[in-house]
Copies of this chain bind each other. A is one copy, B any other.
Amino acid sequence: MHRTKVKVVADALDANNTIARANREDFDRHGVAVVNLMSAPGAGKTRLLERALASLDGVRAGVLEGDVAGSFDADRLSLLHIPVVQLNTGAGFGGECHLDANMVRSAIPSLPLADLDLLVIENVGNLVCPAEFRVGEDARIMVCSVTEGEDKPLKYPLMFRACELVVINKIDLLPHLDIDLERLLSNLDAVHPGVRRMLVSARTGEGVDELAAWLAEVPGRVRAAA
């Protein structure tokens, strides 16, 4: 039984990866670099994007917003006057807890790829399944709020391993929390040694320039690797 279950899951992930490659070919053909942005619910992905994308000079950015229901984040990001497309995962039952390659594929016709250098895909808030499903991205960022505690890398190891950048957000709250930041960082090193990390506050803006610079460099890095 267990073996069968794993086999079925492996098949589903194979099928997902095939569609993810097709997405990536479409993005590459238009010269669009793609970042998959993941975190737990309420870690501050949207607010970080509001701040970071506003200061991306010379890079034409767009956002694909993934949510179970509603278009609250898409509405906020539209105020930046950039292309934003909403993808809802809530059809059929309680909702999908992640974006998969097929959902992203369904949104591609709505995206103005010819007018973009960078597409940020804001995933559904969840520390498990989004890490399992590639969607055709070039890079993955995960956002971890200091309010979530020191233990999250150890409890959700795949998420912290499956990314090129870990953004540790809400550092303005550190004086009001019991969290041991050094222990959070050493737990991160235990599951993903040496991964690039940034300490930021989307609220105060501290560290957001560094994130904006990282995002601005993604299209160049993707072109250089092609």
Interface residues of A (CB under 8 A from B): 2, 5-6, 9-10, 13, 40-42, 67-70, 72, 91-97, 124-129, 131-132, 145, 147-149, 151-152, 154-158, 170, 172-173, 176-178, 203
Contacts and interface: CB of A to CB of B under 8 A. Distances in A.
Given A94-B132, A145-B147, A67 B155 contact: yes
A183 B9 CA distance: 40
Contact of A147 (B95, B158, B170): B170
Given A126-B126, A178-B203, A158 B94 contact: yes
A152 B41 contact: yes
B132 A13 contact: no
Contacts of A13: 93
> Most B CB atoms within 10 A — which of A2, A96, A128, A149?
A128
B9 A70 contact: no
A42 B132 contact: no
A56 B149 CA distance: 25
B128 A2 contact: no
B95 A97 contact: no
Nearest to A147: B147
26 contacts: A5-B92, A13-B93, A40-B41, A40-B125, A41-B152, A41-B155, A41-B156, A42-B145, A67-B155, A68-B156, A68-B157, A69-B156, A70-B154, A70-B155, A94-B128, A94-B132, A94-B158, A97-B97, A97-B126, A125-B155, A125-B156, A126-B126, A126-B128, A147-B170, A173-B177, A178-B203
Given A41-B148, A94-B158, A97-B128, 4 more contacts: A69-B157, A70-B155, A125-B127, A178-B203
